[in-house]
Structure 1
Amino acid sequence: MTTDHRGYFGELTAALRAAQVPAEQIDTTVADLAAHLAETGTAPEEEFGPAADFAAQLGGAAPAVTGPADEAETWTWTADVYNDRRLLAVHGDQGWEVERLDALGRFVCRRARDTALRWEYRREIVNGKQRDKVLGRLTPEGWELCGEWFFYAYFKRPKAASAGPAAALDALPARPARSWYIGVKGWIASVGWLAVVAVILTAYYSRNLDFAVAFPVLLAGTFGMTYWVRRTVTKSCGDTT
Protein backbone atom coordinates (compact mmCIF):
# COMPACT_ATOMS: atom_id res chain seq x y z
CA MET A 1 0.00 0.00 0.00
CA THR A 2 1.36 3.42 -0.95
CA THR A 3 2.43 5.78 1.81
CA ASP A 4 2.55 8.84 -0.44
CA HIS A 5 -0.55 10.77 0.48
CA ARG A 6 0.46 14.12 -0.98
CA GLY A 7 -2.41 14.14 -3.45
CA TYR A 8 -5.01 13.59 -0.74
CA PHE A 9 -3.51 16.15 1.63
CA GLY A 10 -3.07 18.65 -1.20
CA GLU A 11 -6.78 18.44 -1.99
CA LEU A 12 -7.64 18.63 1.70
CA THR A 13 -5.44 21.69 2.19
CA ALA A 14 -6.99 23.51 -0.78
CA ALA A 15 -10.51 22.77 0.45
CA LEU A 16 -9.70 23.99 3.97
CA ARG A 17 -8.25 27.19 2.55
CA ALA A 18 -11.46 27.67 0.57
CA ALA A 19 -13.36 27.34 3.86
CA GLN A 20 -11.11 30.11 5.27
CA VAL A 21 -9.54 27.92 7.93
CA PRO A 22 -6.39 29.67 9.29
CA ALA A 23 -3.15 28.52 7.63
CA GLU A 24 -1.53 27.59 10.96
CA GLN A 25 -4.48 25.41 11.87
CA ILE A 26 -4.37 23.69 8.47
CA ASP A 27 -0.67 22.87 8.86
CA THR A 28 -1.20 21.44 12.34
CA THR A 29 -4.21 19.41 11.22
CA VAL A 30 -2.43 17.93 8.20
CA ALA A 31 0.64 17.05 10.30
CA ASP A 32 -1.51 15.27 12.90
CA LEU A 33 -3.42 13.36 10.24
CA ALA A 34 -0.22 12.30 8.49
CA ALA A 35 1.23 11.06 11.77
CA HIS A 36 -1.95 9.10 12.45
CA LEU A 37 -1.78 7.40 9.05
CA ALA A 38 1.87 6.56 9.59
CA GLU A 39 0.93 4.71 12.78
CA THR A 40 -2.09 2.88 11.40
CA GLY A 41 -0.76 2.19 7.92
CA THR A 42 -4.17 2.85 6.39
CA ALA A 43 -5.06 4.88 3.32
CA PRO A 44 -6.52 8.35 3.98
CA GLU A 45 -9.64 7.61 1.91
CA GLU A 46 -10.36 4.55 4.07
CA GLU A 47 -9.66 6.36 7.33
CA PHE A 48 -11.25 9.75 6.69
CA GLY A 49 -13.35 9.41 3.53
CA PRO A 50 -13.15 11.67 0.45
CA ALA A 51 -10.98 14.74 1.00
CA ALA A 52 -13.70 17.22 0.07
CA ASP A 53 -16.22 15.69 2.49
CA PHE A 54 -13.65 15.47 5.27
CA ALA A 55 -12.64 19.10 4.72
CA ALA A 56 -16.28 20.14 5.03
CA GLN A 57 -16.41 18.47 8.43
CA LEU A 58 -13.18 20.06 9.58
CA GLY A 59 -14.01 23.47 8.12
CA GLY A 60 -17.44 23.48 9.67
CA ALA A 61 -15.95 22.86 13.08
CA ALA A 62 -13.25 25.46 12.66
CA PRO A 63 -13.53 28.73 14.57
CA ALA A 64 -14.27 31.86 12.63
CA VAL A 65 -11.26 33.81 11.45
CA THR A 66 -10.86 36.86 13.64
CA GLY A 67 -8.20 39.45 14.12
CA PRO A 68 -7.29 43.05 13.53
CA ALA A 69 -8.81 44.74 10.51
CA ASP A 70 -5.35 45.29 9.01
CA GLU A 71 -4.99 41.55 8.36
CA ALA A 72 -7.07 42.03 5.21
CA GLU A 73 -6.64 44.42 2.30
CA THR A 74 -9.57 46.16 0.68
CA TRP A 75 -9.74 47.60 -2.81
CA THR A 76 -12.52 49.10 -4.92
CA TRP A 77 -12.29 49.31 -8.69
CA THR A 78 -14.49 49.68 -11.74
CA ALA A 79 -14.47 48.60 -15.38
CA ASP A 80 -16.78 48.81 -18.36
CA VAL A 81 -18.78 45.78 -19.46
CA TYR A 82 -16.33 45.12 -22.29
CA ASN A 83 -13.42 44.49 -19.92
CA ASP A 84 -14.97 43.40 -16.63
CA ARG A 85 -14.74 39.63 -17.11
CA ARG A 86 -11.12 39.73 -18.25
CA LEU A 87 -10.14 41.92 -15.30
CA LEU A 88 -12.11 39.82 -12.81
CA ALA A 89 -10.11 36.79 -13.98
CA VAL A 90 -6.83 38.68 -13.57
CA HIS A 91 -7.61 40.08 -10.13
CA GLY A 92 -9.23 36.83 -8.97
CA ASP A 93 -5.95 35.04 -9.68
CA GLN A 94 -4.29 37.60 -7.42
CA GLY A 95 -6.55 36.66 -4.51
CA TRP A 96 -9.09 39.49 -4.70
CA GLU A 97 -12.57 38.40 -3.61
CA VAL A 98 -15.49 40.56 -4.74
CA GLU A 99 -17.74 41.11 -1.73
CA ARG A 100 -20.34 43.25 -3.51
CA LEU A 101 -21.01 45.89 -6.13
CA ASP A 102 -21.66 49.34 -4.71
CA ALA A 103 -24.27 51.86 -5.87
CA LEU A 104 -21.92 53.11 -8.61
CA GLY A 105 -21.34 49.62 -9.98
CA ARG A 106 -17.82 49.34 -8.58
CA PHE A 107 -16.35 46.02 -7.44
CA VAL A 108 -15.68 46.15 -3.69
CA CYS A 109 -12.96 43.58 -2.99
CA ARG A 110 -11.18 42.04 -0.03
CA ARG A 111 -7.99 39.97 0.20
CA ALA A 112 -6.89 38.19 3.37
CA ARG A 113 -3.13 38.35 3.76
CA ASP A 114 -2.61 35.01 5.49
CA THR A 115 -5.38 32.94 3.88
CA ALA A 116 -5.73 34.44 0.40
CA LEU A 117 -7.31 32.22 -2.26
CA ARG A 118 -7.58 32.42 -5.99
CA TRP A 119 -11.10 33.27 -7.13
CA GLU A 120 -12.94 32.71 -10.37
CA TYR A 121 -15.87 34.74 -11.64
CA ARG A 122 -18.59 34.61 -14.23
CA ARG A 123 -21.14 37.08 -15.50
CA GLU A 124 -24.68 36.22 -16.55
CA ILE A 125 -27.49 38.22 -18.09
CA VAL A 126 -30.56 38.11 -15.85
CA ASN A 127 -34.01 39.41 -16.64
CA GLY A 128 -37.07 38.93 -14.42
CA LYS A 129 -37.93 35.27 -14.02
CA GLN A 130 -34.64 34.29 -15.65
CA ARG A 131 -32.81 35.33 -12.48
CA ASP A 132 -34.17 32.39 -10.48
CA LYS A 133 -33.35 30.04 -13.34
CA VAL A 134 -29.74 31.23 -13.46
CA LEU A 135 -29.35 30.96 -9.68
CA GLY A 136 -30.83 27.46 -9.72
CA ARG A 137 -28.35 26.40 -12.38
CA LEU A 138 -25.20 27.89 -10.85
CA THR A 139 -25.70 27.50 -7.09
CA PRO A 140 -25.27 23.69 -7.11
CA GLU A 141 -21.93 24.20 -8.87
CA GLY A 142 -20.65 26.33 -5.99
CA TRP A 143 -21.23 29.74 -7.60
CA GLU A 144 -22.27 32.52 -5.22
CA LEU A 145 -23.98 35.73 -6.32
CA CYS A 146 -21.70 38.65 -5.41
CA GLY A 147 -23.34 41.58 -7.15
CA GLU A 148 -25.80 42.83 -9.76
CA TRP A 149 -25.66 45.81 -12.10
CA PHE A 150 -28.55 46.61 -14.45
CA PHE A 151 -29.25 43.30 -16.24
CA TYR A 152 -25.93 41.65 -15.29
CA ALA A 153 -25.32 39.34 -12.34
CA TYR A 154 -21.82 38.46 -11.15
CA PHE A 155 -20.92 35.17 -9.47
CA LYS A 156 -17.82 33.99 -7.61
CA ARG A 157 -16.37 30.79 -6.22
CA PRO A 158 -12.93 29.73 -4.92
CA LYS A 159 -10.83 28.50 -7.81
CA ALA A 160 -10.05 25.37 -5.81
CA ALA A 161 -13.52 24.15 -6.83
CA SER A 162 -12.28 23.71 -10.40
CA ALA A 163 -8.48 23.67 -10.18
CA GLY A 164 -7.90 21.84 -6.88
CA PRO A 165 -4.53 22.32 -5.13
CA ALA A 166 -3.19 24.21 -8.16
CA ALA A 167 -5.39 27.11 -7.09
CA ALA A 168 -3.38 27.75 -3.94
CA LEU A 169 -1.92 31.26 -3.72
CA ASP A 170 1.55 31.23 -2.15
CA ALA A 171 2.57 34.85 -2.75
CA LEU A 172 0.44 37.97 -2.97
CA PRO A 173 1.10 40.34 -5.88
CA ALA A 174 1.14 44.02 -5.03
CA ARG A 175 -2.19 45.80 -4.95
CA PRO A 176 -2.95 47.27 -8.40
CA ALA A 177 -2.17 50.96 -8.70
CA ARG A 178 -5.21 51.60 -10.88
CA SER A 179 -8.85 51.49 -9.85
CA TRP A 180 -10.46 52.74 -13.07
CA TYR A 181 -10.53 50.54 -16.17
CA ILE A 182 -12.66 52.11 -18.90
CA GLY A 183 -11.79 51.23 -22.49
CA VAL A 184 -12.58 52.96 -25.78
CA LYS A 185 -15.92 51.18 -26.25
CA GLY A 186 -16.91 52.05 -22.71
CA TRP A 187 -16.20 55.72 -23.28
CA ILE A 188 -18.11 55.71 -26.57
CA ALA A 189 -21.17 54.22 -24.87
CA SER A 190 -21.00 56.71 -21.99
CA VAL A 191 -20.38 59.77 -24.15
CA GLY A 192 -23.06 58.71 -26.63
CA TRP A 193 -25.69 58.36 -23.93
CA LEU A 194 -24.74 61.72 -22.37
CA ALA A 195 -24.82 63.38 -25.78
CA VAL A 196 -28.38 62.20 -26.36
CA VAL A 197 -29.44 63.57 -22.99
CA ALA A 198 -27.61 66.87 -23.56
CA VAL A 199 -29.18 67.45 -26.97
CA ILE A 200 -32.69 66.78 -25.72
CA LEU A 201 -32.30 68.96 -22.61
CA THR A 202 -30.71 71.80 -24.58
CA ALA A 203 -33.54 71.76 -27.11
CA TYR A 204 -36.13 71.67 -24.36
CA TYR A 205 -34.74 74.53 -22.24
CA SER A 206 -34.20 76.68 -25.33
CA ARG A 207 -37.95 76.26 -25.91
CA ASN A 208 -37.35 74.68 -29.27
CA LEU A 209 -38.87 71.42 -28.11
CA ASP A 210 -42.01 70.78 -26.13
CA PHE A 211 -41.88 68.52 -23.06
CA ALA A 212 -44.45 66.21 -24.64
CA VAL A 213 -41.88 65.59 -27.38
CA ALA A 214 -38.69 65.83 -25.31
CA PHE A 215 -39.61 63.21 -22.74
CA PRO A 216 -40.51 60.40 -25.18
CA VAL A 217 -37.41 61.14 -27.27
CA LEU A 218 -35.20 61.15 -24.19
CA LEU A 219 -36.76 57.90 -23.03
CA ALA A 220 -36.33 56.32 -26.44
CA GLY A 221 -32.71 57.48 -26.61
CA THR A 222 -31.99 55.99 -23.20
CA PHE A 223 -33.48 52.64 -24.11
CA GLY A 224 -31.74 52.75 -27.46
CA MET A 225 -28.32 53.26 -25.91
CA THR A 226 -29.01 50.54 -23.33
CA TYR A 227 -30.07 48.13 -26.06
CA TRP A 228 -26.98 48.95 -28.13
CA VAL A 229 -24.64 48.37 -25.20
CA ARG A 230 -26.30 45.10 -24.32
CA ARG A 231 -26.28 43.85 -27.90
CA THR A 232 -22.63 44.69 -28.53
CA VAL A 233 -21.51 43.18 -25.24
CA THR A 234 -23.55 40.03 -25.77
CA LYS A 235 -22.20 39.64 -29.30
CA SER A 236 -18.56 40.18 -28.35
CA CYS A 237 -18.59 38.10 -25.17
CA GLY A 238 -20.84 35.25 -26.21
CA ASP A 239 -23.37 35.66 -23.39
CA THR A 240 -26.77 34.05 -23.72
CA THR A 241 -30.08 35.50 -22.71
Structure 2
Amino acid sequence: MNTTDATNARYERDSYLIGLAERLRAHGLPADRVEATVTDLAAHLEEAGADDAEAEFGPADEFARQLVPAAGERAPAAPGDTVETWRWTADTYVDEELLNRFGDEGWEVERVDALGRFVSHRDLAQPQRWEYRRELVTRGREGLDERLAPDGWEACGTWVIYAWFKRPRAASLGPAARVESPPPAPRRTSFLSGKFYALLAVLAVAVVVAGVAVAVDDGEASSGIGFVVGLLAGAGAVAAVVWVLQTWRGRRP
Protein backbone atom coordinates (compact mmCIF):
# COMPACT_ATOMS: atom_id res chain seq x y z
CA MET A 1 0.00 0.00 0.00
CA ASN A 2 1.46 3.36 -1.05
CA THR A 3 1.39 6.50 1.08
CA THR A 4 -1.73 7.91 -0.57
CA ASP A 5 -3.68 4.67 -0.12
CA ALA A 6 -2.55 4.43 3.51
CA THR A 7 -3.67 8.01 4.17
CA ASN A 8 -7.05 7.37 2.57
CA ALA A 9 -7.50 4.17 4.54
CA ARG A 10 -6.66 5.97 7.78
CA TYR A 11 -9.09 8.76 6.93
CA GLU A 12 -11.90 6.28 6.22
CA ARG A 13 -11.19 4.37 9.43
CA ASP A 14 -11.18 7.56 11.52
CA SER A 15 -14.37 8.73 9.81
CA TYR A 16 -16.02 5.43 10.67
CA LEU A 17 -15.02 5.70 14.34
CA ILE A 18 -16.14 9.34 14.54
CA GLY A 19 -19.48 8.42 13.01
CA LEU A 20 -19.82 5.46 15.38
CA ALA A 21 -19.12 7.72 18.37
CA GLU A 22 -21.86 10.11 17.23
CA ARG A 23 -24.32 7.22 16.92
CA LEU A 24 -23.41 5.87 20.36
CA ARG A 25 -24.01 9.30 21.91
CA ALA A 26 -27.31 9.54 20.03
CA HIS A 27 -28.33 6.21 21.59
CA GLY A 28 -27.71 7.71 25.03
CA LEU A 29 -24.37 6.11 25.89
CA PRO A 30 -22.45 8.34 28.37
CA ALA A 31 -19.56 10.33 26.86
CA ASP A 32 -16.89 8.53 28.91
CA ARG A 33 -18.14 5.14 27.74
CA VAL A 34 -18.26 6.33 24.15
CA GLU A 35 -14.61 7.39 24.43
CA ALA A 36 -13.56 4.09 26.05
CA THR A 37 -15.43 2.04 23.44
CA VAL A 38 -13.99 3.90 20.46
CA THR A 39 -10.48 3.72 21.97
CA ASP A 40 -10.80 -0.06 22.36
CA LEU A 41 -12.03 -0.47 18.80
CA ALA A 42 -9.23 1.71 17.39
CA ALA A 43 -6.66 -0.39 19.28
CA HIS A 44 -8.22 -3.56 17.88
CA LEU A 45 -7.97 -2.24 14.31
CA GLU A 46 -4.32 -1.30 14.85
CA GLU A 47 -3.47 -4.76 16.24
CA ALA A 48 -5.35 -6.58 13.50
CA GLY A 49 -3.86 -4.37 10.79
CA ALA A 50 -7.39 -3.82 9.50
CA ASP A 51 -7.79 -0.79 7.26
CA ASP A 52 -11.51 -1.20 6.55
CA ALA A 53 -13.39 -0.62 9.83
CA GLU A 54 -16.77 -1.25 8.24
CA ALA A 55 -15.63 -4.62 6.90
CA GLU A 56 -14.34 -5.48 10.39
CA PHE A 57 -17.37 -4.34 12.45
CA GLY A 58 -20.20 -3.90 9.98
CA PRO A 59 -22.26 -0.78 9.22
CA ALA A 60 -21.88 1.85 11.93
CA ASP A 61 -25.65 2.14 12.57
CA GLU A 62 -26.06 -1.59 13.16
CA PHE A 63 -22.85 -1.88 15.18
CA ALA A 64 -23.89 1.02 17.42
CA ARG A 65 -27.18 -0.72 18.21
CA GLN A 66 -25.24 -3.86 19.19
CA LEU A 67 -22.95 -1.93 21.51
CA VAL A 68 -25.70 -0.04 23.38
CA PRO A 69 -28.13 -1.85 25.72
CA ALA A 70 -31.53 -2.22 24.15
CA ALA A 71 -34.57 -0.48 25.54
CA GLY A 72 -35.76 -2.16 28.71
CA GLU A 73 -32.37 -3.64 29.58
CA ARG A 74 -30.41 -2.35 32.53
CA ALA A 75 -27.67 -0.03 31.30
CA PRO A 76 -24.23 -0.11 32.97
CA ALA A 77 -23.85 2.29 35.85
CA ALA A 78 -22.11 5.52 34.95
CA PRO A 79 -18.81 6.12 36.70
CA GLY A 80 -18.99 8.51 39.63
CA ASP A 81 -17.79 9.06 43.12
CA THR A 82 -19.37 5.83 44.34
CA VAL A 83 -18.42 3.60 41.40
CA GLU A 84 -15.03 2.07 40.66
CA THR A 85 -14.02 0.38 37.44
CA TRP A 86 -11.52 -2.37 36.69
CA ARG A 87 -10.39 -4.13 33.51
CA TRP A 88 -8.78 -7.54 33.69
CA THR A 89 -8.13 -10.65 31.65
CA ALA A 90 -7.72 -14.38 32.30
CA ASP A 91 -7.26 -17.55 30.27
CA THR A 92 -10.18 -19.91 29.71
CA TYR A 93 -8.95 -22.36 32.36
CA VAL A 94 -9.76 -19.95 35.18
CA ASP A 95 -11.96 -17.17 33.81
CA GLU A 96 -15.30 -18.59 34.99
CA GLU A 97 -13.95 -19.34 38.46
CA LEU A 98 -12.47 -15.85 38.76
CA LEU A 99 -15.58 -14.17 37.41
CA ASN A 100 -17.63 -15.78 40.16
CA ARG A 101 -15.03 -15.00 42.82
CA PHE A 102 -14.89 -11.35 41.85
CA GLY A 103 -18.65 -11.29 41.30
CA ASP A 104 -19.02 -12.36 44.91
CA GLU A 105 -17.00 -9.24 45.79
CA GLY A 106 -19.47 -7.03 43.96
CA TRP A 107 -17.83 -6.76 40.53
CA GLU A 108 -20.29 -6.60 37.64
CA VAL A 109 -18.98 -7.17 34.10
CA GLU A 110 -20.36 -4.63 31.65
CA ARG A 111 -18.77 -6.08 28.53
CA VAL A 112 -15.70 -7.75 27.07
CA ASP A 113 -13.66 -5.18 25.17
CA ALA A 114 -11.91 -5.55 21.82
CA LEU A 115 -8.79 -6.83 23.60
CA GLY A 116 -10.63 -9.59 25.43
CA ARG A 117 -10.61 -7.86 28.83
CA PHE A 118 -13.52 -7.97 31.25
CA VAL A 119 -14.66 -4.38 31.77
CA SER A 120 -16.11 -4.39 35.28
CA HIS A 121 -17.54 -1.89 37.72
CA ARG A 122 -18.60 -1.97 41.36
CA ASP A 123 -21.00 0.30 43.16
CA LEU A 124 -19.27 1.17 46.40
CA ALA A 125 -22.44 2.55 47.97
CA GLN A 126 -24.53 -0.59 47.40
CA PRO A 127 -22.28 -3.40 46.13
CA GLN A 128 -24.21 -6.51 45.10
CA ARG A 129 -23.04 -10.07 44.40
CA TRP A 130 -23.06 -11.41 40.84
CA GLU A 131 -22.63 -14.85 39.31
CA TYR A 132 -21.41 -15.80 35.85
CA ARG A 133 -21.33 -18.58 33.30
CA ARG A 134 -19.54 -19.10 30.00
CA GLU A 135 -21.00 -20.66 26.86
CA LEU A 136 -19.34 -21.89 23.67
CA VAL A 137 -20.74 -20.17 20.59
CA THR A 138 -18.78 -21.72 17.73
CA ARG A 139 -21.96 -22.09 15.69
CA GLY A 140 -23.45 -18.76 16.61
CA ARG A 141 -25.69 -17.88 19.53
CA GLU A 142 -29.10 -18.24 17.92
CA GLY A 143 -31.59 -18.95 20.67
CA LEU A 144 -28.95 -18.95 23.43
CA ASP A 145 -30.04 -15.66 25.00
CA GLU A 146 -33.68 -16.71 24.94
CA ARG A 147 -32.87 -20.11 26.47
CA LEU A 148 -30.96 -18.57 29.39
CA ALA A 149 -33.15 -15.51 29.96
CA PRO A 150 -35.90 -17.34 31.94
CA ASP A 151 -33.30 -18.19 34.59
CA GLY A 152 -32.22 -14.56 34.84
CA TRP A 153 -29.04 -14.78 32.76
CA GLU A 154 -28.08 -11.67 30.79
CA ALA A 155 -25.35 -11.50 28.14
CA CYS A 156 -22.37 -9.42 29.23
CA GLY A 157 -19.73 -10.06 26.58
CA THR A 158 -18.36 -12.19 23.76
CA TRP A 159 -14.84 -13.00 22.62
CA VAL A 160 -14.02 -15.14 19.57
CA ILE A 161 -15.91 -18.41 20.35
CA TYR A 162 -17.13 -17.66 23.88
CA ALA A 163 -20.06 -15.74 25.36
CA TRP A 164 -20.38 -14.78 29.03
CA PHE A 165 -23.59 -14.29 30.96
CA LYS A 166 -24.30 -12.71 34.35
CA ARG A 167 -27.14 -12.52 36.82
CA PRO A 168 -27.55 -10.81 40.19
CA ARG A 169 -27.60 -13.12 43.17
CA ALA A 170 -30.25 -11.01 44.88
CA ALA A 171 -32.95 -13.23 43.38
CA SER A 172 -31.67 -16.25 45.32
CA LEU A 173 -29.97 -14.64 48.32
CA GLY A 174 -32.20 -11.65 48.97
CA PRO A 175 -30.60 -9.09 51.33
CA ALA A 176 -27.59 -11.42 51.75
CA ALA A 177 -26.59 -10.55 48.18
CA ARG A 178 -25.29 -7.21 49.39
CA VAL A 179 -21.53 -7.07 49.98
CA GLU A 180 -21.17 -5.47 53.38
CA SER A 181 -17.39 -4.93 53.35
CA PRO A 182 -16.06 -5.16 49.79
CA PRO A 183 -12.32 -5.85 49.59
CA PRO A 184 -10.08 -3.44 47.66
CA ALA A 185 -9.91 -3.80 43.90
CA PRO A 186 -7.27 -6.41 42.93
CA ARG A 187 -3.95 -4.91 41.96
CA ARG A 188 -3.45 -7.50 39.20
CA THR A 189 -5.11 -7.19 35.83
CA SER A 190 -3.84 -10.39 34.18
CA PHE A 191 -4.48 -13.93 35.45
CA LEU A 192 -2.77 -16.81 33.65
CA SER A 193 -3.20 -20.27 35.16
CA GLY A 194 -0.73 -23.09 35.74
CA LYS A 195 -2.61 -25.13 33.13
CA PHE A 196 -1.92 -22.41 30.56
CA TYR A 197 1.82 -22.63 31.22
CA ALA A 198 1.61 -26.44 31.29
CA LEU A 199 0.06 -26.33 27.83
CA LEU A 200 2.99 -24.26 26.61
CA ALA A 201 5.37 -26.85 28.10
CA VAL A 202 3.53 -29.70 26.38
CA LEU A 203 3.76 -27.87 23.08
CA ALA A 204 7.51 -27.40 23.60
CA VAL A 205 7.95 -31.14 24.28
CA ALA A 206 5.89 -31.94 21.17
CA VAL A 207 8.22 -29.76 19.11
CA VAL A 208 11.29 -31.60 20.42
CA VAL A 209 9.71 -35.02 19.78
CA ALA A 210 8.82 -33.97 16.25
CA GLY A 211 12.43 -32.89 15.68
CA VAL A 212 13.76 -36.23 16.90
CA ALA A 213 11.32 -38.04 14.61
CA VAL A 214 12.53 -36.02 11.63
CA ALA A 215 16.16 -36.76 12.48
CA VAL A 216 15.52 -40.51 12.81
CA ASP A 217 13.54 -40.60 9.58
CA ASP A 218 16.25 -38.75 7.62
CA GLY A 219 19.16 -40.44 9.35
CA GLU A 220 20.71 -37.03 9.88
CA ALA A 221 20.86 -35.38 13.30
CA SER A 222 21.23 -32.01 11.65
CA SER A 223 17.81 -32.35 10.04
CA GLY A 224 16.16 -32.84 13.39
CA ILE A 225 18.16 -30.05 15.01
CA GLY A 226 17.28 -27.65 12.24
CA PHE A 227 13.63 -28.64 12.45
CA VAL A 228 13.53 -28.16 16.23
CA VAL A 229 15.37 -24.84 16.07
CA GLY A 230 12.97 -23.55 13.45
CA LEU A 231 9.88 -24.62 15.37
CA LEU A 232 11.22 -23.33 18.68
CA ALA A 233 12.07 -20.01 17.09
CA GLY A 234 8.54 -19.74 15.75
CA ALA A 235 7.02 -20.83 19.05
CA GLY A 236 9.29 -18.40 20.90
CA ALA A 237 8.14 -15.56 18.71
CA VAL A 238 4.49 -16.43 19.36
CA ALA A 239 5.15 -16.75 23.11
CA ALA A 240 6.92 -13.39 23.12
CA VAL A 241 3.99 -11.73 21.38
CA VAL A 242 1.56 -13.30 23.88
CA TRP A 243 3.71 -12.15 26.82
CA VAL A 244 4.04 -8.61 25.47
CA LEU A 245 0.31 -8.43 24.78
CA GLN A 246 -0.57 -9.69 28.26
CA THR A 247 1.85 -7.22 29.83
CA TRP A 248 0.49 -4.37 27.74
CA ARG A 249 -3.07 -5.31 28.66
CA GLY A 250 -2.14 -5.36 32.33
CA ARG A 251 -0.64 -1.88 32.18
CA ARG A 252 -3.50 -0.25 30.32
CA PRO A 253 -5.87 1.76 32.52
Q: TM-score, normalised by structure 2?
A: 0.47
Structure index of larger Rg: 1
Structure number with greater CO (CA < 8 Å, separation at least 6) is: 1
Q: TM-score, normalised by structure 1?
A: 0.49
